[in-house]
A and B are shown apart, each in its own frame.
Chain A
Amino acid sequence: MLGYIRSVPAVWRVLVCLVFCRNLTSIGAAPICTNAQTGCQALSLANLFDRVIQHSARMHGISNDLHSEFEQYFLPSKNQIGRVSRNCHTSTILTPNGKENAQRMAREELTEVILKLLMAWRDPLWRFHQGMAHNHDFNNFSSNKALEMSDMVHELRKGVEKVADKMQMLGIISNSVSSQVSPEALLPSDSAEWHLMRDYDLLYCFRRDSNKVQNYLKILKCRIVPEHGC
């Protein structure tokens, strides 16, 4: 029974990979072609943006679901200040806090912010998923969602990197974008209750950051690929 449970996440990982890797193969696997070379799929920038935005929207949805699910375990605290005061580990990354700020920001900076955020969440989410998988209190549904989330972050980061590469290739942005950020996962002690609290905060923080990523991508697309209403 335990072996089956342990193998299920592996199976789920494969399935999730198949589902989402297929969606992003054009971004991750297929090389971006300059000309119509055989064997590669030349996607337009708008198409890439659409795919990435769709992915980020789904990621944010899952994070919201998990956050709501965690709220059932924990009584909603009135003292939200205490909760909020617990900084997310991504608080050090400077992010635009409004629509106009994001629109005023340079494209390269905005792209870099997105990549930094995605990079920062790779390891914490993976550890979170591992913690959930080993904790039998959570049903497989939540555990699978956690796995899905961590994979999605990984894929989304790759996707955004591809978008950035294409933009750099097209000359829209300069070549100063770098996604090398130091992971700042400052996790406190490993006690059980803090662990649970940390998970809840982690979900809260990730929910907020996924919303940021989603909005930033939308604004970026609106600025680079002009559409009606932008």
Chain B
Amino acid sequence: MTASSLPSGLLLLFLISSLDWLSTSAFSSDPNPMTSSDSLEPHFTECISRDQETFRCWWSPGSFHNLSSPGALKVFYLRKVSPVSEWKECPEYIHSKRECFFDVNYTSVWVPYCIQLRGQNNITFDDACFTVENIVRPDPPVSLNWTLLNISPSGLSYDVMVNWEPPPTADVEAGWMRIVYEIQYRERNSTYWEALEVQPHTQKTIYGLHIGKEYEVHIRSRMQAFSKFGEFSDPIFIHVTELYSEETTFPLTFILVFGTLGILILLMLILIFQQQRFMMILLPPVPAPKIKGIDAELLKKGKLDELNLILSGGIGGLHTYAPDFYPDEPWVEFIEVDPEDSAAGEKEDHQGSDTQRLLGLPPPVSLNHHLNIGCSSTISFPDDDSGRASCYGPDVPNQDTLILMAALLPGQAEEEEATLDEVERAPSPEGGESHFVQSQTAGSHTWVNTDFYAQVSNVMPSGGVVLSPGQQLRIQESTLSAEKEMQRKGKEIGACEETGEKKQKGLQFQLLVVDPEGGSYTTESTARQISAAPNSPTPSEGYQTIPPQPADAKPAATAEDNQSPYILPDSPQAPFFAPVGDYTVVQEVDSQHSLLLNPPPNLSPHPCMPQQPLKALPATPVAYVTPDLLGNLSP
């Protein structure tokens, strides 16, 4: 197996094959150019099997026209099934077609066949050898049709799916023949067929056909792994016109354009007509301060009478400023300062207004200065946020103002007249009180004594502004309120009577019971708070702390009193009213719907007051009542 052996082998082969060229045969793969057309011997034209079970052979007499008559030429075949084989004549002649048909019984696949075309006297004109599987040319497929797949967005080209059925003569289902197909297509007027890839499936997609052009498609089949194709099928025509494609796209764009315009116009209209709303959304207005029930316009117009009516809670006016009406404003704690408290507070040290403290001025010297001295030492609170924790000075401008202010105090709207009576009566039982009131009336009512921040309680018809209880006014208010509460509690609280005896014992504490539902409130200040002087530092200034467990702090004598949390300020002794700060912590709510507020811190040191020794004030928490706690408080 050297390199030189190959050329010699090829040469040998060439010599052998060249001898075969002398004889022409229809089975040669390359056409023989040496065949002369004038003397054409009878020869086999073709042998074809369509189903690999039968086959046919055709011959032609060539130029030997005298042999064209039937029977002049005979076909003999040799089937090499056995070592010894003999030539047999064609089993079935079809002379009209010059065909020799071998049916199933005479057809053997994979067996070499040789056929000979013999004339008279056994002259062999042509012979050929083959095997049946090599001469199989399947029939063309049937039922060729096409469907439109899609059209390109440009509307110029489209895709088509072509499908067909395998040839009925080929036994494809049993697998006896495996057929592959080849599709060819061309434009109507073209001569060149475009051939697609051979594949065994019975459908094929043709891409990129042009709109408006007519196409011709045909198909043929062959055996897989063999080379001989069958005949082409009848062509089908594919034609897609432009009109169809344009109709579909033109209105679509039209609709899109107009739809977009319409939507835009609609949006503009909405924007224009709902401009207000959009402005509200984009630029919300800044909320102005508002008081419930009070019209800002009313204030502007200066209708004081109506305003007074409204503020006092008159007909159709504001509701009483009860804690339950302000669930969302927990910081609003309404404290009524009893006039008795204020009287008691008078004896306390009222150092002066917050203004004075802030300015560092000495406290004003009033007639009741001796009462103030005792309290002055207690006033040393660093923070004075409420400004009302200090002792109240006797600084009531006049009794009228006091009455009005007391009347206008929240929670006392209905009993304005009663309050007036109380105020008038108040001074009578307690001389000190009236004295206090008067003293307070006579007290200097200068601006110095007013604080930086004061609540406007009323606007006088004369045009003056009555400030809310300042330090000096607290006492009167508490006095008035206490008087009023006395009247009220008498009917609301049943335990007032039993506590009356307690008062006789000289308990120097006063109860201001808060009734959330009634819209009034009272503060409770126990004696120990008052008496527990410096050793009970208040947690924070401005808060009137109330011991949570009155029973703990109070002495045994007063233990019984604590069971009824109310102690009417009816004691013959001069009750003192613990001055109540503007903001007081609600310690607890008892069963009588009363808020027990913390007394002001400055009440705790009360050396001036005759009191019984009480236990020290326990530290009380300072906290605001939150709405949820408030809800818990009200049973």
Contacts and interface: CB of A to CB of B under 8 A. Distances in A.
Interface of A: 53, 57, 60-61, 64, 68, 73-81, 83-85, 95, 97-100, 131, 134-135, 137, 191-193, 195-197, 208, 211-212, 214-215, 218-219, 221-222, 227-230
Given A215-B176, A230-B173, A78 B110 contact: no
B131 interface: yes
B107 to A, nearest CB: 6
A80 B27 contact: yes
Interface stretch (B15-23, B274-282, B465-473): B15-23
Interface string B163-178: 0000000011111101
Contacts of B174: 99, 218-219, 222, 229-230
B283 interface: no
A195 B1 contact: yes
A131 B111 CA distance: 28
Nearest to B23: A78
Contacts of B171: 99
B257 interface: no
Closest 7 A-B residue pairs measured CB to CB?
A229-B173, A218-B175, A192-B5, A193-B9, A78-B20, A97-B108, A80-B129
Contacts of A212: 110
Contacts of B30: 76
Interface size class of B (residues with CB under 8 A): 35 or more
B249 interface: no
23 contacts: A57-B225, A68-B227, A74-B17, A77-B16, A77-B17, A78-B23, A78-B27, A79-B19, A81-B112, A81-B129, A97-B108, A98-B53, A99-B174, A100-B104, A131-B1, A193-B13, A197-B9, A208-B133, A211-B110, A212-B110, A218-B176, A219-B175, A221-B175
Contact of B25 (A53, A60, A74, A78): A78
B226 interface: yes
A221 B29 CA distance: 36
B28 interface: yes
Interface in B1-54: 1-3, 5-6, 8-10, 12-14, 16-17, 19-21, 23, 25, 27-30, 52-53
Contacts of B127: 81
B224 interface: yes
A98 B104 contact: yes
A98 B107 contact: yes
B52 A99 contact: yes
A58 to B, nearest CB: 10
B13 A75 contact: yes
B114 interface: yes
Nearest to B24: A78
A98 B110 CA distance: 8
Given A218-B175, A219-B175, A227-B173, 9 more contacts: A74-B17, A84-B129, A85-B80, A98-B104, A99-B109, A137-B6, A195-B1, A222-B174, A230-B173
A196 to B, nearest CB: 5
A84 B110 CA distance: 11
A135 B1 contact: yes
A137 B175 CA distance: 38
Contact of A76 (B3, B29, B108, B178): B29
Contacts of B104: 98, 100
A196 B9 contact: yes
A193 B8 contact: yes
B224 A208 contact: no
Nearest to B178: A57
Name which of B1, B52, B226 has the most chain A CB atoms within 10 A of its CB: B1
Residue among B175, B178, B224 with the highest chain A CB neighbour number at 10 A: B175
Given A97-B110, A98-B109, A192-B8, A75 B80 contact: no
B128 interface: yes
Contacts of B108: 97-98
B21 A192 contact: no
B225 A208 contact: no
Contacts of B20: 77-79
Nearest to A192: B5
Contacts of A95: 110
A80 B175 contact: no
B81 interface: yes
A208 B133 CA distance: 9
Contacts of A81: 112, 114, 127, 129
Interface string B578-594: 00000000000000000
A83 B80 CA distance: 13
B237 interface: no
A53 B178 CA distance: 12
Given A192-B1, A229-B174, A99 B53 contact: yes
Contacts of A73: 10
A78 B35 CA distance: 14
A215 B229 CA distance: 20
A79 B18 CA distance: 10
A53 B104 CA distance: 25
Contacts of B27: 78, 80
A85 B78 CA distance: 12
Interface centre among B6, B28, B29 (most CB of A within 10 A): B6
Nearest to B52: A99
Interface string B153-171: 0000000000000000001
Contacts of B5: 191-193
A80 B225 contact: no
B452 interface: no
A76 B28 contact: yes
Interface string B115-132: 000000000000111110
A56 to B, nearest CB: 11
Nearest to B114: A81
Contacts of B110: 95, 97, 208, 211-212
A79 to B, nearest CB: 5
Contact of A84 (B28, B112, B227): B112
A211 B129 CA distance: 19
Contacts of B111: 97
A60 B81 CA distance: 23
Contacts of A131: 1
Given A193-B12, A219-B174, A222-B175, A78 B224 contact: no
Nearest to A71: B29
A67 B178 CA distance: 19
